[in-house]
Amino acid sequence: MRHITEILHDFESFLLSQAPKIPSFHQHYEKAVWEMVQNGGKRFRPALVFSILNALAPQLIKNAFLPALSIECIHTYSLIHDDLPCMDNATLRRGHPTLHTKYGQTLALLVGDGLNTYAFALLAKAKLDPQVKLSLIESLSINAGIGGMVLGQMLDCEFENQTLAIEQLKTIHINKTAKLIATSLEFGAIIANADSKLRKALYDFGLNLGVYFQLRDDIIDVCQDSSQAGKTTQNDSHKNSYVNLLGLEGARVEFHKQRQSLQNELENFESCIAQSLSMLLENYFKDIT
């Protein structure tokens, strides 16, 4: 089994090579479209796609580069929009100034829109069976779209100044964060032609992983400064977050509980999947200091 960092290294070169050519008389647009994609990020969602293929169908990893990039485009668009003044009003993302701080809100909004649709152009180009591509398109559009990430973001923004119940917070996180993470694992299963039972098990594990990822992010937000996190932090005091609803200690207890439950869930997968996902998640399972 290849090490995930090696695959991500190849993927990063691929990503740089995929910068869309959009000649026009606009001074910044072409560069700005790919700028936040290129600016780094952990590539966690692509890594989830590759982890499943690394376990089940390593010969298809290269064919999964375009689909993985399509998810990264959707994720990047969501970050660009999330940072806008009408949402989180953040100045730092991926260790760089947010797109609207550099180029203005109109360009940032439109680049986000553009990446959202470009994701599906990338999927359409993938070297995969048409039926497989249709399943990928369906999974991504449903989970990132009106009943998924967009719904989660809407609820998050709408209720940011009202205290919600913990179950409502979980609903927000499932939609805003977890569904895209679950789709990433589902992409691996679809491309590897896994049976529907495994596909569902991976998707469900992804939902739990996504909620954990968000909880971890909430704790990082209060414990790390912007330079450590590479993005604006400590900006969520008015928001519903695990830390605000449970207190830092309560959030840490929940973090340990969810981590244990994910580790138990991992053991129920066949060993090649458990091993491959463990390799990727090792860092995410560490304590947060």
Told to check if 206 binds ligand GRG by CB under 6 A, we report no
Told to check if 82 binds ligand GRG by CB under 6 A, we report yes
Told to check if 183 binds ligand GRG by CB under 6 A, we report no
Q: Of residues 108-127, which lie at the interface with ligand GRG (CB under 6 A)?
A: none
Told to check if 100 binds ligand GRG by CB under 6 A, we report no
Told to check if 153 binds ligand GRG by CB under 6 A, we report yes
What lies within 8 Å, CB to CB, of 222 at 6+ separation is 233, 234, 236, 243, 248
Told to check if 35 binds ligand GRG by CB under 6 A, we report no
Is the Cβ of residue 135 or residue 177 nearer to ligand GRG in the bound state? 177
Told to check if 46 binds ligand GRG by CB under 6 A, we report no
Q: Of residues 57-76, which lie at the interface with ligand GRG (CB under 6 A)?
A: 75
Which position among 8, 67, 69, 81 is part of the footprint of ligand GRG (CB under 6 A)? 81
Told to check if 175 binds ligand GRG by CB under 6 A, we report no
Q: For the window 131-150, what string marks contact with ligand GRG as x by the rule CB under 6 A?
A: ------------------xx
